A and B are shown apart, each in its own frame.
Chain A
Amino acid sequence: MATRHERSNYTRISAVRNICYRAWRNPFNTRGYTVLENEGHEHRIVIPNNKGSHFGSPGHYLGNKICTTKYTLLNFIPKNLYEQFHRLANVYFLFLAVLNWIPVVEAFRKNLTMIPLVIVLALVAIKDAIEDYRRYRFDRALNHLPIDVLARNEKKYVEKYWKEVQVGDFVRLRCNEIIPADILLLYSSDPDGLCHIETANLDGETNLKQRQVIKGFTELETEFDPMKFNSVIECEKPHNDLNRFRGYIVYKNEKRAGLSKDNLLLRGCTIRNTEEVVGIVIYAGHETKAMLNNNGPRYKRSKLERQMNVDVFWCVIILFVMCLFSAIGHGLWVAQYGDERPAFDVLSSDGTSLSPALSGLYLFFTMIIVLQVLIPISLYVSIEIIKICQVFFIHQDTDLYDEETDSRLQCRALNITEDLGQIQYIFSDKTGTLTENKMVFRRCTVAGVEYSHDANAKRLAMYQEPDSEEEECTSKSGTIPRCDSTSSHQSAKIVHRTQSTKSHRRTGSRAEAKRASILSKHTAFSSPMEKDITPDPQLLEKVNECAGQLEILRQHGQPLSHLTPELSDIIDFFIALTVCNTVVVSSPNQPRHKVRVRFELKSPVKTLEDFIKRFTPSRLTSGSNSSSSSSISTSKSLYRVSSSALPSPSGDVTLLKVGEELGRSPQREKIESFFQPGVVRDEGKDGELRYEAESPDEAALVYAARAYNCALFERLPEQVTVELPHVGKLAFELLHTLGFDSTRKRMSVVVRHPLTDEIVVYTKGADSVIMDLLHQPSAENSTGKRTRKIRHKTQNYLNQYATDGLRTLCIAKRVLRKEEYARWLEDHLEAESSVENRDELLFQSAVRLETDLQLLGATGIEDRLQDGVPETIANLRKAALQIWVLTGDKQETAINIAHSCKLLGQDEEILTLNAESQEACAALLEQCLNYIESKSPLNTRFSLAENPSVDFIPSNGTSVTSPTLRPNFSLVVDGKTLSFALEKSLEDKFLALAQKCRSVLCCRSTPLQKSMVVKLVRDKLKVMTLAIGDGANDVSMIQVADVGVGISGQEGMQAVMASDFAIARFRHLQRLLLVHGHWCYSRLANMVLYFFYKNAMFVALLFWYQFFCGFSGSAMIDQWYLIFFNLLFSSIPQLITGIFDKDVSAETLVALPQLYKGGQQSEEYKPYMFWMNMIDALYQSLVCFFFPYLAYQDSDVDVFAWGTPITTLALFTILMHLCIETKTWTWMHLASIIFSILLFFTVALSYNAACPTCYPPSNPYWTIESLMADPKFYLICVLTPVAALLPRYLFRIFQGTLFPNPIQRGRQLDRLHPEACSRVNRWNPQSNWSAIPKPGLVMPLSKDSGIGVDESSSSTSQSVHLDANQISTGPLNKQQAAELRDTSSSTLELAEGAKYSLPNGNSSSVSIRDAQSHLHRFQRSELVTEYPFTEDGVRLNTHSGVEPSNMHSLNWRTPTSSTNDTMCLFHSAPHCGLQTQAMEGEQSVPGNTESEGMKHSEEVFPGTSHISTRMVPRNSLEESSLEMTPF
């Protein structure tokens, strides 16, 4: 023990010596630790249990107690006041209050002017105090959570509170406990030293993450004992990057081991799947990464507020002018009396008279106090209150609640709600935002053969059917057969299906899927839709055949090369799908508990010696049988750990042997279950294993493989177990995992194949990358030919997948010879151990491994559109919002998604910008602009004819012109071109072009580019921008935009954390903007305008009085009324209106998105409106002043008996003005107004009766009482408001009658008969989109069936259609029903006859697919279309991929003389109907000709760029038929 201590002391001292040395070298470091932390590398040193260190106690580091409160009891008042006086308005208030204390300028009682200030300050202080108290309680709860901490003295773990944990403490955590601080993992009960954590609290990602004990640490100490642990840990200073942690641990023997983020358990995460872990606290309390990332809500200033501040500034100027005028007036007034002052011009207190100039100067300040109400100070408080309430109501909206994720909308920025109503540009991410980010395996190609997975497509289509359909199926017995027929049809086709798929199919509908996904909430990417893949029968058959052969071969001891190449490719393909990932397996019945069955345990290849030892020559030569025996020998050394889990030490190999002998009989199952007690039985009982994937793509592929019975069974750090059909469980020794990164765009695993004992590299990655890394086949021999053929075919399929909007991945493998591997390993280990530019070396190492690949196949994964995305986009479009999609995806995929979500219409010309150089880009932009210019007159005609908004608002000039200005062009830019276009010299041109286009699509864009685009548009066009995204790559864009919206999807919470608003689904954006945005904007705009009016009107009354009191600063309104008028009497109704007023109902707002345009153009609050309101206020105040003036002229009325009626009638006028401006009345509006009036009278009556001697100088004793006995008071209080409000009332009436703006029309619509409303809804399908089949998935059409259109399926979908109709519109009258029948039958006819479209507007998407199915036929009949592959910058254009058959029709090039390095291609695709004919006629024209043309062009104009424009002539007749259809 003693020696140990000495040793540890020695270590510590040596570590410390290092530090001293470093400190010594830096002469500025004099203060020990603090300085050390600031030193170049910024280190922190953690000494275990923080005892007896030289440099102060580690208590120097923050403890784990957190305190997020801003104030303490003691400093609350000073600190809060200090913060509040940062606000200019409050300072102004204070200035006035102070001013009033100066006797010569004093206007009111000294302490009276303090009241508003005190009230405002108190209100805000109370709010702050409540918030702070909440934080305090929350902190306290966290601080008092229990945790096991090692007490060195007692030599055991004792339970302590979180707050008592210190840096350097040893902490023991059990499963499902929350981690209290950032802890370095030292011990895990897991034999591999693994620990699983769930980081949902930190970043929202629900999948499990692996953390491991420091590499080499377990070997160093056989048994972990914290009492003996004395190593010093040096690491970085605390910072907020969750994904970075660097440091090293210094062992007793001075050896160092590097630490990475894989060793760190972060505060806030939860331990899962691991019995017990022990770690040492590295960062505690506020220095943990979780706390450093916690920035709280953000504050932005909204556009409306900016505009308002300008008007506040105007108010200041008006005030100044008024005061100046009064001051001069007073000076003159005094001057006119000369030296002999009249009796009423009271001398100053010392008996002297002031000179006119001086009294004028004093009066200036007095007037500032008197007229202070003009500056709407309470406006800021009112706005804050209103916004808080608005946020509350947005929170409460059930339409923004997502049941699937059980999440509401979150407002993270509290003060920009009204910006939502003014958005002009939307920048959207694609993946996860427009799409679900639920990757669904759709189709694959293996060894050049395409498996189209028709049944799978049908299954996916079923998820689209509305819930109501299912209900109808169950309720009406008559319709059940139809539902069943689909499923039985499928089940007949599919022989092998997993249990869960079947059970799901029975009720397979969205509702069920939703329910299931709620249940399986804890596992990401595992909704039934994603899990249950219906295998392609053909491929399944091949897999079975293959597995069967494999089994036979193995039984006969033959090498696997006996398999046909295709079969071996297939089996390798599935093994790759299963193995090449980082998916963690857990069983569902015991959530978050790793399946703990071990067949074999091997340490990873750590050193070269280890490698040599393992791969001895004898083993290299031995066959499969001998390998198993050797694996026993290697596993023996590590047996101690695994023995508990294993009934026999032989593990996997024994089992395999048993399995071999027993064959694939049912007995095999028995044996298995014998060997694996618990787990396998569980599997049979409770369904399948759960896969916890880091990315949805991975999960999709693993589930896909499982559908073919190639199930990933278990993943351990050094081993992956796969279950194959017939063969059983195979354990692949996992040698290396080269993780995915965005530069390589691929990931690889290196495994040892258990059957062949070969070292195999499985790689999956983006097609563009993999295709380049493939082994170049030798030209002549047959395998080379085959390889090339496969590659060509695969490339074709890949293109096709991309045009279908699928995400493509290529799967490849490489078999390494042992020597090759040994060589690579040597380099790799070197790279791994290097300190300098380790990342680069590792990258190079990876590149060396991933070459000469053999292509196995490719997969197409569908990222499904979210519900209602096309409708939402269409609606947002109608609301004149420009939608840009910025995505990192490839161009083809992006364009297709854009098509399917209606971002790109069929009638639009797509301008594609692909440039390779700055000059080319410039030329392209120029050309496109010219092109649009030349086309624009034509376009104007088109858009006039089609835009529905024109019909709706014929009287509004802007809405007629705006659609004509917006021609139907769409711009597609790739990342490279975008980077050129964003250069200073080109950005204006780019913007000019983008403005002329209806939508812009930026592909392959980096996060930085995304934010640059947003910034460019925001700053240059001066528009309101909204960015919406779900992933970390959208964060910069979200932060740059005026309004950032995060989607709390599956990709974690980073986007949400950065956002101002977080929604669950893209379609919520519609309601958020169109309804809440509109409301918030119009409410606030009206409130602000009203506020200005109110103050101006009230203050002007006082100003007019100055003309009758010698500009002496006198006020006829009692000072108490003056102070409380804004604060009490008139504040509540305006707040109520600001919170609850609805100009148009939510239904109408959604049904008529055009109404949103008002907010974009700031219709409710334009600069001139401020002045209009001022003029109105001027008029009203004149009326309110001079009516009482004339009525009481030359009478015996005194100042306050005259001022009180003025106050009263001003209040009436102001309230009635609000009544005119209130659009919707609820009981609250009425109550607030009645309350205000009652409050005024109550206050006035009691105030005037309270005290006969108080409140000098007014001393209004009994004034209101005597007034209320006077009929004149009532007469004047009735007459004046009527006269004052007449002009505004008339203006509103004339506006409403003669020139109603869209909003008013919307309101009129609101009041119309419900029938009319339902008619509106019928014309605007988005209001009931749930009943609408989704485009892109209304196509259970079989592509390979050889028939262009599957008649049965099209009629099926049609009938679904009808049902949806009936459900959605509810009881229809006879006429409507007939109409409906007519339209539907006619479309049915069309659908059968001419491959026509479904009437829901996505006609052409179907027809494109039809075209593809045709194309497909060519390809099947070996008419292989070859496309030039992108090599020297010339990219194959999308649309040459989409519609090869159409490309012949127009192929136009720019004159080569003008721009030598630019080429334009305009493809024309005739519209649907025409297209069919074209296809029938042109079937014999293969894509070859086109591609030849491309090649040719490539030769002529090497290496540049294309614009491709696709123009579809409009068929007006067909358009009208589309419009007539109720959907």
Chain B
Amino acid sequence: MATNYSPKDDEGEQHKSRKPDNTAFKQQRLPAWQPILTAGTVLPAFFIIGLVFIPIGIGLFVTSNNIKEFEIDYTGIEPNSPCGICANNGTWNTTCTCEVHFRLDQPFEGNVFMYYGLSNFYQNHRRYVKSRDDSQLNGDKSSLKDPSKECEPYRMSNGRPIAPCGAIANSLFNDTLVLYYMDNGTRKEIQLTSNGIAWWTDKNVKFRNPTGDGNLSTIFKDTAKPLNWPKPVYDLDPTDPHNNGFINEDFIVWMRTAALPTFRKLYRLIMKTDSLTPTLQQGNYTLHVTYNYPVLSFDGRKRMILSTISWMGGKNPFLGIAYITVGSICFFLGVVLLIIHHKYGNRNTSADIPN
């Protein structure tokens, strides 16, 4: 370079050598480990994976199998099925009731979770997922008055802001399910707890009612109810005043949009009452449905699911099977590699050195 002379070039800088530092880092000689992937070196890894995964898989599989689950579809596609009539002329606000009878072949021990399941319901649709206002749900007053643009077209109704706004809230699942145990012809209603079905953080942090004077109805005075809702938000649970407004647990559960088009959502808990009798005895049950939610238009299905639960969640044999399969494959590959190593491993070392 033509201008690479520095101003101080001549003043005795000649003795400083430009030799690079001989450090391990600069010379790229850091202590290193060079794993070489050959049959011989990876054998242990395969066997270890196999030996670890298979027991885990078996454990998971057994656990999953021990979970008792009962599922009943009450959509009523067939006109002569119990809820057939409701299904065919059901709209958002017409009330129609039907009863579905079923039998549990096995008793359900421990706490039993009651879910409703929907199929073909795309709660994960991009525009649907967006269509909510978290600030409003968090009790922000300004958002209550002026919901986010994301809620369009479920933002304003007749000039009043919708609370809660957005498509998710608007399409809230509003069937009511009641379960009866048929004990020798007598209907015995089973105690369903709605408390605790939502995430604790959701109920206590994420969702909050707007604060203000008076009860909820005054607070929500200037707002409109979502179009599809029969009742306003402060009147969702007539039984429990603390389960109203945005902190209604059914509402909160619904607002947590499902990942996949076929999903279930926790509806109620059936708490274990005493240690001697199973929570749900073997026998006949009746599911009383207040049928509001239309699903046939999009070829959807509605189900009611009863399930016990284990440390790893609901019944799903997949993980167990997957662990067993992967573990077995690894073990099998380990054996194959052992053979390969035995046959070809020695060839390498002899061919290493050129001569």
- Is B322 in contact with chain A by the CB < 8 A criterion? yes
A224 is an interface residue with CB less than 8 A from chain B: no
Residues from 152 to 206 in A contacting B, C-beta threshold 8 Å: 176, 178, 201-202
Chain A nearest Cβ from B123, distance in angstroms: 6
Chain B 325-346, CB-CB to A under 8 Å as 1, else 0, gives 0100110010001001100110
Asked if residues B18 and A1252 are in contact (CB atoms below 8 Å), the reply is: no
**A351-B153 contact, Cβ under 8 Å, with A1190-B318, A1282-B326:** yes
Segment at the interface with B among A701-709, A946-954, A1160-1168, A1439-1447 = A946-954
Are A1112 and B122 in contact (CB-based, < 8 A)?
yes
Q: How near does chain B come to A163, taking the closest CB pair, in angstroms?
A: 13
Contact (Cβ within 8 A) B205 A1252: yes
Which partner residue on chain B sits nearest A393 by CB separation? B28
CB neighbours of A1286 from chain B (8 A): 326, 329-330, 333
Mark each residue of chain A from 1294 to 1330: 1 if its CB lies under 8 Å from any CB of chain B, else 0: 1111101000110111111000100110010000000
Rounded to whole Å, the gap between the CB of A878 and the closest CB of chain B is: 11
Interface presence of B1 (CB below 8 A): yes
A1194 within 8 A of B: yes
Q: A293-B2, A1114-B126 are in contact. Are A408 and B18 (CB under 8 A)?
A: yes
Q: Which of A122-130, A443-451, A529-537, A1258-1266 contacts B (4 or more CB under 8 A)?
A: A1258-1266
Q: In A1152-1206, which residues have CB < 8 Å from any B CB?
A: 1152, 1187, 1189-1199, 1201-1203
Contacting residues, chain B, for A141 (C-beta < 8 A): 6-7
Cβ-neighbour of B34 out of A290, A344, A406, A1307 (below 8 A):
A1307
Q: Do the beta carbons of A1279 and B53 come within 8 Å of each other?
A: yes
On whether the beta carbons of A1109 and B122 are closer than 8 Å, the reply is yes
- Please indicate the chain A residues that have their CB under 8 angstroms from the CB of B26 in the complex: 393, 396
Residues in A neighbouring B80, C-beta threshold 8 A: none
In the complex, the answer to whether A401 meets B20 with C-beta atoms within 8 Å is: yes
Closest CB in chain B relative to A1201 CB, distance in Å: 7
A541 within 8 A of B: no
Interface positions, chain A 1248-1284, Cβ under 8 Å from B, are 1252-1254, 1256-1257, 1259, 1261-1262, 1266, 1270-1272, 1275-1276, 1279, 1282-1283
- B115 to A1110, Cβ gap below 8 A? no
Chain B's closest residue to A370 (CB) is B126
> A348 at interface (Cβ–Cβ under 8 A)?
yes
> Known: A1194-B117, A1199-B259. Is A1275-B312 also a contact (CB below 8 A)?
yes
Would A1194 and B264 count as touching, CB distance under 8 A? yes
Contact call B257/A1198, Cβ cutoff below 8 A: yes
Quick check: is B187 within 8 A (CB to CB) of the other chain?
no
Complex contact B134–A1199 (CB within 8 A): no
**Contact (A290, B3) CB under 8 Å given A401-B20, A1257-B150:** yes
Q: Is A743 an interface residue (CB 8 A)?
A: no
Stretch at the interface among B35-43, B97-105, B237-245, B280-288: B35-43
- Contact across chains for B322 and A1187 when beta carbons are under 8 A apart: yes
Of the candidates B5, B264, B348, B352, which one forms a contact with A268 in the assembled complex, judged by CB atoms under 8 Å apart? Answer: B5
The answer to whether A1195 and B314 touch (CB under 8 A), given A401-B18, A1275-B60, is yes
Q: Which of B105-140 contact A (CB under 8 A)?
A: 115, 117, 121-135, 137-138, 140
Stretch touching chain B among A636-644, A734-742, A812-820, A1219-1227: A1219-1227
Asked whether any CB of chain B lies closer than 8 Å to the CB of A349, the reply is yes
A992 at the interface (CB under 8 A from B): no
Which residue of A has the minimal Cβ distance to B298? A342
Q: Does B326 lie within 8 Å of A1253, measured CB to CB?
A: no
Q: Which of B38, B258, B337 contacts A1197 (CB 8 A)?
A: B258
Q: Which residues of A contact B191 (CB under 8 A)?
A: none
Q: Is the CB of B19 within 8 A of A401?
A: yes
A303 at the binding interface (Cβ < 8 Å): no
A1272 and B313 form a contact (CB under 8 A): yes
Complex Cα gap A865–B331 (Å):
61
Chain A's closest residue to B8 (CB) is A141
A1305/B351 contact (C-beta < 8 A), A344-B167, A349-B153, A1228-B30 known = yes
Is there contact, CB below 8 Å, between B264 and A1193? Answer: no
Q: Is the CB of A1262 within 8 A of B37?
A: no
Which residues of A sit under 8 angstroms from B140, Cβ to Cβ? 1253
Could you say which residues of chain A place their CB within 8 Å of the CB of B126? Answer: 107, 366, 1109, 1112-1115
A645 to B349, CA, bound (A): 80
Closest chain-A Cβ to B181's Cβ sits at a distance in Å of 24
B354 and A951 form a contact (CB under 8 A): yes
Output the least CB separation between A366 and chain B (Å). Answer: 7
Most chain-A CB neighbours within 10 Å: which of B1, B42, B132? B1
Question: Given known contacts A1191-B318, A1257-B130, A1282-B49, is B258 in contact with A1266 (CB within 8 Å)?
Answer: no
B21 touches which of A396, A1276, A1283, A1311 (Cβ 8 Å): A396
| B37 in contact with A346 (CB, 8 Å) | no
- For residue B201, CB closer than 8 A to chain A, the reply is yes
Q: Is B323 an interface position by the 8 A CB rule?
A: yes
Q: Is the CB of B206 within 8 A of A291?
A: no
Interface residues on B, range: 35 or more
- Which residue of the partner chain, among B127, B154, B345, contacts A1297 with CB atoms under 8 Å? B345
Chain B 246-266 against A: per-residue CB contact (8 Å), 1 yes, 0 no? Answer: 000000010011111111111
Q: Does A926 contact B (CB under 8 A)?
A: no
The interface residues of chain A lying within 8 Å CB-to-CB of B253 are 1196
* Cα A1320 to Cα B199 with chains together (Å): 67
Contacts A345-B128, A1266-B201 given; does A268 touch B2 at CB 8 Å? yes
Interface size class of A (residues with CB under 8 A): 35 or more
Query: Is A407 in contact with chain B by the CB < 8 A criterion?
Result: yes
Contact B19 A1320 (CB under 8 A): no
Contact residues in A for B170 (Cβ distance below 8 Å): 343
Q: CA of A1187 to CA of B154 in the docked complex: distance in angstroms?
A: 36
Known: A1257-B130, A1270-B313, A1276-B319. A1198 touches B353 (CB 8 A): no
Judge whether A1084 is part of the interface by a CB distance below 8 angstroms: no
Q: Does A88 interact with chain B (Cβ within 8 Å)?
A: no
Shortest CB distance A1264–B (Å): 12
A201 adjacent to B4 (CB under 8 Å): yes
Nearest-neighbor residue (CB-CB) of A948 within chain B: B354
- Tell me, rounded to whole Å, the shortest Cβ–Cβ distance linking B65 to chain A: 16
Interface 1/0 per residue, A68-83 and B, CB below 8 Å = 1000000000000000
- Is B213 part of the contact surface with A, judged by Cβ < 8 Å? no
Across the interface, name the chain A residue whose C-beta is closest to B123: A344
Q: How far is the CA of A1225 from the CA of B30 in the complex (A)?
A: 9
Q: For A1290, what are the chain B residues with a Cβ–Cβ distance below 8 Å?
A: 333
Given contacts A294-B2, A1190-B318, A1256-B132, contact A1293 B353 (CB under 8 A): no
Q: What's the least CB distance linking B28 to chain A, in Å?
A: 6
Among B133, B265, B345, B353, which residue has its beta carbon within 8 angstroms of that of A1309?
B353
**Residue pair A1226, B34 in contact (C-beta under 8 Å):** no
Interface residues, chain A, with chain B CB atoms under 8 Å away: 66, 68, 107, 138, 141-142, 145, 176, 178, 201-202, 268, 270, 290-291, 293-294, 296, 337, 340, 342-351, 366, 393, 395-398, 401, 403, 406-408, 521, 948, 951-952, 954-955, 1057, 1108-1110, 1112-1116, 1140, 1142, 1146, 1152, 1187, 1189-1199, 1201-1203, 1220, 1223-1228, 1252-1254, 1256-1257, 1259, 1261-1262, 1266, 1270-1272, 1275-1276, 1279, 1282-1283, 1286, 1289-1290, 1292-1298, 1300, 1304-1305, 1307-1312, 1316, 1319-1320, 1323
A-B interface, 4 closest residue pairs, ranked by CB to CB distance from nearest: A952-B354, A349-B152, A343-B171, A1202-B259
Task: Write 30 A-B pairs (CB below 8 A) sorted by A numbering.
Answer: A66-B3, A141-B6, A141-B7, A294-B1, A342-B300, A344-B171, A345-B122, A396-B21, A398-B27, A401-B20, A403-B17, A951-B355, A1114-B124, A1114-B129, A1115-B126, A1192-B260, A1192-B316, A1194-B260, A1195-B316, A1198-B259, A1225-B32, A1228-B30, A1253-B134, A1253-B137, A1270-B312, A1270-B313, A1293-B39, A1293-B42, A1305-B351, A1308-B348
- Further pairs besides A1196-B266, A1198-B257, A1253-B134: 10, Cβ < 8 Å: A342-B300, A346-B153, A351-B153, A1190-B322, A1193-B318, A1225-B33, A1253-B138, A1275-B56, A1289-B37, A1320-B353
